[in-house]
Amino acid sequence: MPLPSVTRSLSAKLLVLTVLFVLLAEVLIYTPSIARYRLTYLEERLAAAHLAALSVEATPDMMVAMELQNELLAHVGAHAVELIRPDSRVYMLSRSMPPTVDAVFDLRATMAPRLAADAFMALAQRRDRVIRVIGPSPKDPAFQVEMVIDERPMIRAMVDFSGRILALSVAISLIAAVLVFVSLTRLLVRPMRRLTEGLVAIRRDPDGTPPFQPSARSDEIGVAERELADMQATIRSALRQRERLAALGTAVAKINHDLRAILSTAALLSERLAESADPEVRRVTPRLMASIDRAVELCGQTMTYTRDGLLPLTRTAVPLRPLVEEAGAAALAALRPDGERAELRWDNRVPEGLTVRADAAQLSRALVNLGRNAAQAGAGAVTVTARERPGGGLVLLVADDGPGLPPRARDNLFQPFAGSARAGGVGLGLAIAREVLRAHGGDLRLVESTAAGTVFALELPPGIVVEGVARLGEMPTSDSPIPH
């Protein structure tokens, strides 16, 4: 898989996201800023109106000529001004014909959300309004000032302020984006790109890629680099081991083929020994035949295990009780280590009508392997029961009355060629049975193994039961007796 292009790379995404987030932060800052700017603008006009109204008090007869009033109002930028002193005296300046007021804004008890809303409403205005503004004087809060002004000059000042804020925001966002981009590129993007290139190279050529060299970082990137290096070493070791095993398997297959031909010849010759006139020869011949049969079985199991790989399943609706019965018949043909036919009692307690969706041949194979193991270990009876799993699904309990598994077999349980419970065994029966269960989505586990017998649980996943689950009991817990 090729690496992503520059426009779709992690670096480009980080740059775009950084710019967007900085702009979003500036927008959040702009809202209270524009509201505060409008409030400051109106307070400055109120302060100027206060000073202009005090000029009335300075005149001898408390009267101001119309020409002077117009000059004072022009200085304030208002059509009319009223100043109310604490003693209720009123000083007023007004043009001869003041315009009609379109809106009134009271600054004495306005909350921040209202100020922000008024600011944005002013920016959205498309007509020239005349507004009345009421508020305490910034010069002396004891004085109340009312003024009538045109709103358009304030809007132009707010637009100019917004332009300055926008330019500053763009500059800050670009500077922050570059700094964040450079920092993240050095700290994250480049190491991640190096990790990605290493993974891609290992996938393309696991054995020929040079060893990945981790850095000395102690953070998560450093941990990932060291894990990748360890994973590459593990993969190389596994590939070399697989190559050796493949070569060994090829050699074993050839040896196995020749060995089976030799054993077949030995079996034919052994049958003639049974007709010998020597009683001692006739006595030992069955054991010789049993040994040859076990050798042939070993060859067959080894070839089957090495040939199977991933088990292909053909799932159909399978009545479970007849399948368990057929598996028992096959297990009864097992041989004990002494060469005598096993006298095995197969107790099938699976209820009638229980149907599962599974591969009949493979599931029967797992049951047969468990039955043969029990017979070869010296068990006289095997009991098969079905239980419903607490989380759904099905459990088949296979319990025997044999002497239990020896410690060596428990330590290497389910390990091919290592987990045999008897001398001369290869330990493939349990390994194959577990593969069958795992291919179905379940598992095979050892429930218990004591001197009174051994119990294995064949766990099948939820949804495998087609019908008959109502006839099942609950799965035994650690405190519940397990049937033998």
Q: Convert the pLDDT of each residue in 239-253 to its tens digit.
A: 887 777 677 667 766
CA atoms within 13 Å, Cβ hemisphere of 436: 24
Angle made by CA atoms 252, 238, 1, in degrees to the nearest 5: 120
Q: Where residue 337 falls among pLDDT bands split at 50, 70, 90? A: very low
Lowest mean pLDDT among 40-44, 293-297, 318-322: 293-297
The larger pLDDT score, comparing residue 484 to residue 450, is at: 450
Which tops the pLDDT comparison, 159 or 238?
159
Highest mean pLDDT among 224-233, 329-338, 423-432: 224-233
For residue 164, the one-letter residue type is R
Residue length, the chain? 484
48 versus 177: which is more confidently predicted?
48
Structure tokens at 220: 């998560």
Alpha-carbon distance of 303 to 49, in angstroms, equals 105
pTM of the shown model: 0.46
Burial 173-199 (b: 16+ CB within 10 A, else e): beebbeebbeebbeebbebbbbbeebe
Which positions ≥6 away from 288 have C-beta within 8 Å? Answer: 270, 273
pLDDT value at residue 479: 41
- Quote the CA–CA distance of 234 and 129 in Å, as a whole number: 79
Measured CA to CA, the distance from residue 167 to residue 336 in angstroms comes to 92
Cα–Cα distance, 112 to 9 (Å, whole number): 43
Banded model confidence at residue 140, pLDDT cuts 50, 70, 90 = confident
Contacts of residue 466, Cβ cutoff 8 Å, sequence gap at least 6: 317, 355, 356, 357
| pLDDT averaged over every residue in the chain | 79
- pLDDT above 50 (res 17): yes
Q: Is 54 exposed, middle or buried (CB count within 10 Å of its CB: 0-12, 13-18, 19+)?
A: middle
Of 2-6, 138-142, 342-346, 362-366, minimum mean pLDDT range: 2-6
Strand 78-84 to strand 345-348: parallel, antiparallel, or no bridges (unpaired)? unpaired
Spatial CB neighbours of 467, under 8 Å, sequence gap ≥ 6:
353, 354, 355
pLDDT per position as a tens digit, 364-418 = 989 988 998 888 888 889 999 998 887 778 899 999 998 888 877 777 777 765 5
Structure confidence at residue 26 as a pLDDT band (50, 70, 90): confident
pLDDT of 83 reads 87
In this predicted structure, the answer to whether residue 346 has a pLDDT above a threshold of 80 is yes
Output the six-digit token pair for 266: 């030995």
Which band of pLDDT confidence, cut at 50, 70 and 90, is reported for residue 1?
very low
> Nearest-5° angle of CA 410, CA 414, CA 420?
60
